Every structure is written in C-alpha cells, then in structure tokens.
Amino acid sequence: MRRLRRLAHLVLFCPFSKGLQGRLPGLRVRCIFLAWLGVFAGSWLVYVHYSSYSERCRGHVCQVVICDQYRKGIISGSVCQDLCELHMVEWRTCLSVAPGQQVYSGLWRDKDVTIKCGIEETLDSKARSDAAPRRELVLFDKPTRGTSIKEFREMTLSFLKANLGDLPSLPALVGQVLLMADFNKDNRVSLAEAKSVWALLQRNEFLLLLSLQEKEHASRLLGYCGDLYLTEGVPHGAWHAAALPPLLRPLLPPALQGALQQWLGPAWPWRAKIAIGLLEFVEELFHGSYGTFYMCETTLANVGYTATYDFKMADLQQVAPEATVRRFLQGRRCEHSADCTYGRDCRAPCDRLMRQCKGDLIQPNLAKVCALLRGYLLPGAPADLREELGTQLRTCTTLSGLASQVEAHHSLVLSHLKTLLWKKISNTKYS
C-alpha cells in the first residue's frame, strides 16, 4: 500500500506546464513507468543482497554442527567448551565471500577475533536431517580408532611432505601439530584431539597459518574446536569499503573504487609503511623454513593492516605451497597458458609442442605485488619520489618466474624498493 501511495503521489504531482496539457496522459504514463521501474530496481537489489547474504552467512549452522560433534565426543579443542557450553564466543559481523568458508568477526575472552569454519557438507539445498552425521563420516573420519601415536605422527608427516615438499624442517612442524592437538596438556593425544587437528590440516589456510606462525605478517592462531578455528581480529582493509552501503559496492566501476581508495584510505606515508610490510611478507614466503609459497590471488582485498599501519595478510586462502602448485601443473594438458592457472593468477607457460604445462610460473610473487603497488603507491606519492618509485616498480613487474632469474634479481629489487620507501618515511611519526 505504501508503494501505491508513493506512486499515486508521483503521478498526481508530475510537473506539467499548461502548454503540455494535450500530452498529459502520455507523460503521466511515462511517470508511472519510471516510478515502477525505480521500485522494481530497488526491490531487486534488496532481494539479491539479502538472498546472497543468507547463502553466504550461515555461522549458526556451523556452530550447531560443530557443537553436535563435540557433544558426541567426536571432536575436541581449546575453544570447544567456551563455544558450546559457556557461550563465550560471540559471533558478530559476517565476512564470508563464499558459502563453503564461513568467516565472522567475533569476541572471545575480551579479545577481537576472526572465526573461520567450513560447512560444505551442510549447504546442499537438498540437505536432510542427516547433514551432521554425514559431516561426521566424511570430515572427521581420520584417524580411525586404534591408530597409535606413532602411526598418527607418520600419517601427519606424509601429509605435510605431500603438501609442502620433502623438507628437513618437517619433523619439527609435526611436533607442533602434536603439541597443538594436546591442548589440555595431559601428555597424550586422544582420538577426538587427533580427528580435530587432522581435519584442520585439510584446510588450506590453517596449514598456511601453521607454517607461517613465526612470521609477523600472518595472523596468529588463537584456538580451535574441530575444524573451526579462531585467529587474531580482522585487520583493517586496504580501503574503507565499509564506508559504502553494501548495495552500492558491486555497482561501482573499478576506476571509481580506486579513486575512493585514495580518498578514504590512509595517507600516503601510511600506505608506504603498509607496502613495506607487504614486501617483507613476500620475503617471508620466499624460501622460508617450510619451503616457498605462491600468492595466487594478488588483490588489494587481501592487503590488511593493524591500527598502527603494520601490514597483515587479510586472507591466506589463496596462498599456496610451491609443492602443491607444481603437483597441479605436473603433466597437465594445455592449449595455452590460461589452462595452466592455479587459483586466480598463478600461471605457468604452456609447452604447445608437448601440450603440457611447464613447472615455472610466469610471474613470481614480487612482480605481482609490484604491479599492485603501482596503483596503490604512485597516486599521491611525493613529487621528488614519484619518478624513481615508478621506475623501480616498472622494473620489478618485469621479473620473470624462471628460477634462475628470481634467484638473481628478486632480493636485489626488493631491497631497493624497501630502502627507497624507508628513506622517505624514516625519522618521522610514520616510521
């Protein structure tokens, strides 16, 4: 009824001059059409937004499933009691971008946290009441009853070798996994503890968090229950998208989003400090303790920072171990390089004679990050720095992914960039 009243108001008060009285019916029809078009477009946007939200944001489903498994004694973990019995984990804003990976900001023991949980098995539109038992059988199926701690250690080591490569540091990482599994410090790993930590290892981001725990630019892992885990609070985004109404964000062209990033985002010296942290993160991924990692979705959406403008990687979902990417590319049939793409932008060349993907990526992490920084740092850069900064970033983006070239130029180019930026902000409040 309200919409009809508004429509009638528009029709009755459409401005017509006396000379247009003869065309009054036609103009009124046009007004009615435009009014209905506006109502339809607005209703459609609201429907799309909220239907998408209901699909993406199902934290309540995740909590119900996890707590069901916990009460049955199938899983355990350091936050299970707080989550399922004491209700001390507060779910706040939904940050999920896909239904299968639930991400929420939250509060736990007076600390801001990020809550992450996968619910692929429960999101089928034809899901029945047996959704939770299916999850129990599919996800929490290993290790089986009767598995010894020695067998579980070997099982974990084999898994890490397959995903990170055969590295001499892996036994130490296995030790960390077992220590994490024994969250109650009773010097034994129960079946529920083993099932939980095994399920966590299947989550790509958790494996990356575990491998990068000693690195300052990855979020710190705080606790878990089954395959639900908590990390440090959500870092600030690269630009304040939250300042825009959710319905407007998908409608903005990339150029306008870039302009808003400069207007609403941090001042240039703070952006320089964030960029230095991002370059340090690239260093951490290159030949770290647990091998080399590739950034396979290099976008500003993954560039986060703390309240003091220290860089934090906002999402590790698209960071992949070198061994995983090489296994994906090995023997893969292709017609062109687009067929040799892991994730969004980890692309290898295609050998058209053999019709198989090659093993080296076309662009290393540093080249992709420098391409990103050209749009992030050059606008608003100090005049005395802009030309040299632009030159160094252009040089950086031409780096090849071939191992020989990366080894020769990677560290040198990265060091020059960091030095250039530090010189500009050192001995100021921004450093």
Write down the pLDDT at residue 257: 59
Give the mean pLDDT of 162-190.
92
pLDDT the model gives residue 11: 41
Average pLDDT over the chain, rounded to whole? 80
Share of the chain above pLDDT 70, in %: 74
Residues 6+ apart with CB under 8 A from 71: 84
Q: What pLDDT score was predicted for residue 288?
A: 79
Q: What does the block give as tokens for 189?
A: 């790993």
Using the predicted structure, report yes or no on whether residue 50 has a pLDDT greater than 50. no
**Which pLDDT score is estimated for 183?**
92
Q: What is the pLDDT of residues 187-234, one digit of tens each?
A: 899 999 999 999 999 998 899 898 888 788 888 899 999 999 999 887
Between 41 and 340, residue with greater pLDDT: 340
- What is the percentage of the chain residues whose pLDDT exceeds 90? 46
Alpha-helix residue ranges (DSSP H) falling in 182-302:
191-201, 204-211, 254-264, 268-285
Question: What does the pLDDT read at residue 268?
Answer: 92
Among 8-22, 49-63, 362-376, the minimum mean pLDDT is found in 8-22
Does the pTM surpass 0.85? The reply is no
Tell me the average pLDDT across 358-382: 90
pLDDT of residue 342: 94
Q: Higher model confidence: residue 9 or residue 111?
A: 111
Structure tokens at 72: 């049955």
Q: 361 or 82: which carries more pLDDT confidence? A: 82
Q: Are the C-beta atoms of residues 41 and 186 closer than 8 Å to each other?
A: no
Q: How far is residue 290's CA from residue 288's CA, in Å, rounded to a whole number? A: 5
Say whether domain 252-427 belongs to CATH 1.10.510.
yes
> Per-domain residue ranges for the chain?
58-119+142-232, 252-427
Tokens 């047996």, residue located: 130
The 10s digit of each residue's pLDDT in 345-354 is 899 999 999 9
The 8-class DSSP code of residue 421 comes to: H
Average pLDDT over residues 360-384: 91
**Using CA atoms, how far apart are residues 314 and 301, in angstroms rounded to an integer?**
8
Helix crossing, 191-201 with 149-164: angle to 10°?
A: 0
pLDDT beyond 50 at 274: yes
d(CA 153, CA 385): 53
Helix (H, G, I), strand (E, B) or coil at 96: coil
Cβ atoms of 115 and 104 closer than 8 Å: yes
Asked if pLDDT for residue 249 goes beyond 60, the answer is no
